[in-house]
Amino acid sequence: MVPADDEARERLAVVGEIAAEVAHELRNVLQVISASAYVARQEAARGDATATLSHVVKIEKNARIAHGIVDDLMSLARADALHAESVLVAEVLVGARADLAPDAADWEDVIEPRDLRVRAHPGLLARVLHVLYENAIHASGPGVPRVTTRARASGGCLRLEVGDDGPGVPEAIAARVFEPLVTARAGGTGLGLALARRIMVAHGGTIELVDATPGATFRLELPGA
């Protein structure tokens, strides 16, 4: 049995990690909202109602994303019972890229079959994939990475693999890449992959870095739908 003091410290550590990741993710969303609000004011002053409305729609969309981030991650911090449902894998991929620029990567999706489903919390699973996609994009430097997502049923579980053609994970941190504060990315929090692992464990699944050349490949396994 884990001593109560150790449990409290672990709980505090979890809350701290998730709060820091919430702050990181909200910063990106708030930047979009602020920029859209500024442009909307400029367009309104010129009397361009159509352009103004388009930016208001973008503000509303990103406000919904922000609420989703807070709700999903704070639910994880509270260790609430995971709300899992049967969802199309293709829809989860769309959600994972909702606030990424369409041209941020050359996306390739191989889902077999195309209507493959997984039983998961859609928002949290999308958050795991978002972390992997964002890391691949930032690791590519000035170039546009090719990011491939493969999904298939395997031995009663669902296997998802996300791979890119970037420089890969530095050998010095590869063995500790899921530990909090471990990162090779300038300006990175080192919490994204730690959070991804917590989300996968909450689903009864796993995430691992697998050998791949070139680039980095992460494998996720979840119980079947």
Query: Strand pairing partners for 86?
Result: 119
Read off the pLDDT of residues 75-120 as tens digits, 9 standing for 90 and up: 666 555 577 889 999 999 999 998 788 888 899 999 999 999 999 9
Name the band, by pLDDT with cuts 50, 70 and 90, for residue 5: low
Give the model confidence (pLDDT) of 176-195 as tens digits.
878 766 666 655 556 778 88
Q: d(Cα 104, Cα 192) in Å, to the nearest integer?
A: 19
pTM of the entire predicted model: 0.70
220: its two tokens: 């996720």
Dihedral angle at the C-alpha atoms of 175, 177, 179, 182, nearest 10 degrees? 120
